[in-house]
Amino acid sequence: MGILNHIALISAAFVILQTRWSSSWPMDPTLGFLRLPLNKSNFHVQKPYDLQESERYSFKHGVHKMWVYFTDKPLYRNSPTHPRTEIRITGYDYSSGVWQFEGYGYVPCGTANVTIMQVFGGSPHATTFMLRVGQNGTLTYYRSAVLASNMYDRWFRLNVIHDANASHLKVYIDGVLKFEAPGRGGTSHYFKCGVYSQPDGSYYMESRWKGIKVLKKCG
């Protein structure tokens, strides 16, 4: 290996160390993860059961747009759940290992009190993680911790790392580690994104997603 390669390697290592040392320094959370192949067959769209997919979902210029109204029907007839339009990632349900969801999300002003991303599977609760849009464009962990504010009308990068082995969750927004929490049990997990209304949800709810990736820790 030539001297220039050595210098490049050393400076790369230095950059990585620097980002590790400074938690508020944006980093690439996907380092050390393997990106898994995804195609249309891995995206199952859940929407109000009485409507066509095209009435609540569109995919244009690489952007998945999902919307739902508070008065819409749930995903199945007689389901007690609130209305949703969500992409449920299929083909990568997991029970162990370290998994990561990456996506660029966008929430238009007005959408409030709605879940926009989930790590499904938990026990006794149904989920391990819900990213919620609260009041005024906040992004929250369920109804508790605020992870980011003033997020309306702009794209943000979301990385969620779920270590199912160690039962641990990490959430990055725009490359910055914003939140960590223990897992919430469960034996089978998968990722979802879109809009899933909550009891106090706004009348109209929308989120857009692009660059969705599923990754798994190497080794």
Ligand X SMILES: *[C@@H]1O[C@H](CO)[C@@H](O)[C@H](O)[C@H]1NC(C)=O
Q: Which spans of this chain sit near ligand X (rule: CB under 6 A)?
A: 37, 39, 41, 91, 96-98, 112-113, 135-136, 165, 200, 202, 217, 219
Query: Closer to ligand X at the Cβ: 2 or 199?
Result: 199
Task: Please enumerate in sequence order all residues whose Cβ is within 8 A of that of 72, keeping only pairs 6 or more positions apart, or say none.
Answer: 48, 51, 56, 83, 197
CB of 117 closer than 8 Å to CB of 172: no
Question: Closest Cα to residue 138, out of 111, 100, 120, 158?
Answer: 111
Query: Closer to ligand X at the Cβ: 113 or 159?
Result: 113
Output the smallest distance, CB 114 to ligand X, in A.
Answer: 9
Output the smallest distance, CB 108 to ligand X, in A.
Answer: 12
| Residue the block writes with tokens 């609130």 | 82
Would you state the structure tokens that stand for residue 160, as one six-digit string? Answer: 């969620």
Query: Closer to ligand X at the Cβ: 49 or 92?
Result: 92
Task: Please report, for residues 23, 44, 85, 134, 147, the alpha-carbon distance to residue 138 in angstroms, rounded to integers and kept in the order given.
Answer: 21, 27, 20, 5, 7
Output the smallest distance, CB 197 to ligand X, in A.
Answer: 10
Task: Please report, for residues 47, 108, 109, 139, the alpha-carbon distance to residue 88 in angstroms, rounded to integers and kept in the order given.
Answer: 11, 21, 24, 20
Output the smallest distance, CB 71 to ligand X, in A.
Answer: 13
CB atoms within 10 A of CB 167: 14
Query: Closer to ligand X at the Cβ: 45 or 49?
Result: 45
Query: Closer to ligand X at the Cβ: 22 or 135?
Result: 135
CB of 114 closer than 8 Å to CB of 203: no
Output the smallest distance, CB 199 to ligand X, in A.
Answer: 8
